[in-house]
Amino acid sequence: MTLLKDLTIKKIHDGLVNKEFTAFELTKEFFDYIETRDAEVQAYLSLDKVGALAAAEQVDIAIAKGEEIGMLAGVPMAIKDNLLVKGLPATAASKMLENYTAAYDATVIKKLKEAGAIFLGKANMDEFAMGSSTENSAFKATKNPHDLERVPGGSSGGSAAAVAAHMAVAALGTDTGGSIRQPASLCGVVGLKPTYGAVSRSGAIAMASSLDQIGPLTKTVEDAAIVFSVIKGKDPLDATSVDVVYGDELLNPKLEDIKKLRIGLPKEYFIEGMDDYTKGEINKAIEKIKSLGIEVKEISLPNTKHALSCYYIIMPAEVSSNMARFDGIRYSRLDALQENEPKTLLGIYHEQRGQGFGKEVRRRIMLGTYVLSSGYYDAYYAKAQKVRKLIKEDFDNAFKEVDVILTPVSPTAAFKIGEKTSDPLQMYLSDIFTLTLNLAGLPGISIPVKQYEGTSELPVGFQLVGKAFREADILGIGQFYERIR
């Protein structure tokens, strides 16, 4: 069998169809590898060996019967632990949901099951997706597979690390301000945040509902396109989802079409504060893209300077609303009450929520409650929504000149574990290049500048930003970039 590190979705599909190996054999080999590798990486919170092997057997039966299988059939995947998979834990890496088992499948999970994908287990994350390093998990800190002393990024750090460490071929994550793209960059994998509304959010544990989006983390851009093509689409269970028809270009881009695209480099993103190593790697990517024959020009997104402030008003406000349902009574927290704890309703709320939520979640709930409170709503939240509109208009104006925008993903490569935990502002700055897309609802993808495995270098990714529902543009450029990388 091909080495796990060499496997892509397409290679697995070809191997299964040509009967070079079975889905059962492949899945078992992944679990054997996880048993040894994950002891140091700590990417998974829980595994589903019985369910995964049973699903793999069904794929093998279909192949034996001569049935045609889809591209994702038999593909081993990791699922971020804030996405519901019926019968599996869904903790969102929080003590608040430590005992919760999902009662139904998220819409993206239903689609992946129908496609025959294999779910190896639930991946670690920052608690309720609040963080940029996966150090905020209530259960464990995931390590970067390229350097175990460094973070994998967050909040989808477990998903990114699982793919980078070859403990899954692909994974699902969620992205509220960069939580797919930033860990993808830091771990040297591909991470796609689709357009807001392109993928149903039904069955995702909400953090900030106007910003959240589900997307894939994969080894290649082609693999990201394959997963996206399966999970996209309108869903009656998500009123914000949109019915968009994507053409053949999504999976079969043509170089002559890609060469017609113009790429903009926003001067506000290439600033002081980005380290020299990251800047150098991004410049290499830009030169490679120019060699494809694509026009590259400088553009301006003037309201970028307000984005971080705007985001950290809107996001906590929505967090404070979404976290209200976790009162310590629902979702199986009552068994955590001690004998001497107060039995009044207020007392139960106080004790249970204090024990259930971690420090970062409490911080964001308090910030959000403050900006929504009487006397501060107009001063903060209403003003931030106006700035959000200006940021969206910046992108609208830029896309009159160009088709795609290229930016860094993170100001630095992966930082040391514990380096930023005592300074929340420094941690928040990790997402300074990614959160504008969530505010504007645009698609973005993080692509590694080159192959970093086997070198002493830390991975760096660059970001391609597309027009709304033009994932095909950024996926197309990415696929041709990988061929000359």
Name the catalytic one among 132, 133, 179, 229: 179
Return the H-helix or E-strand segment holding 118.
strand 118-123
In this structure, what token pair is assigned to residue 357?
Answer: 């939520």
Distances (CA, A) of 198 to 115, 173, 244, 405, 445: 18, 15, 7, 19, 14
Of 45, 332, 82, the residue nearest 205 (C-alpha): 82
For residues 3 and 335, what is the distance between their CA atoms, to the nearest angstrom?
45
Please confirm, yes or no, whether 155 is among the known catalytic residues: yes
Beta strands in 337-442 (DSSP E): 404-408
Q: Are 441 and 240 in contact (CB under 8 A)?
A: no
Please confirm, yes or no, whether 80 is among the known catalytic residues: yes
At 290, the amino acid letter reads K
Return the H-helix or E-strand segment holding 218.
strand 213-218
In this structure, what token pair is assigned to residue 1?
Answer: 């069998």
Q: Are 80 and 158 in contact (CB under 8 A)?
A: yes
In this structure, what token pair is assigned to residue 306?
Answer: 């307000």
In this structure, what token pair is assigned to residue 416?
Answer: 């040391």
Q: Are 167 and 43 in contact (CB under 8 A)?
A: yes
In this structure, what token pair is assigned to residue 240?
Answer: 């914000």
Of 36, 134, 461, the residue nearest 278 (C-alpha): 461
Name the catalytic one among 80, 111, 219, 467: 80
End-to-end CA distance of the chain: 26
Q: Are strands 76-80 and 44-47 parallel, antiparallel or unpaired?
A: unpaired
At 378, the amino acid letter reads D
- Angle (CA) 329 332 333, round 5°: 60
Name the catalytic one among 132, 133, 137, 155: 155
Please confirm, yes or no, whether 156 is among the known catalytic residues: no
Distances (CA, A) of 430 to 274, 281, 406: 10, 17, 17
Q: How many CB atoms lie within 10 A of CB 434?
A: 30
Catalytic residue positions, numbered: 80, 155, 179
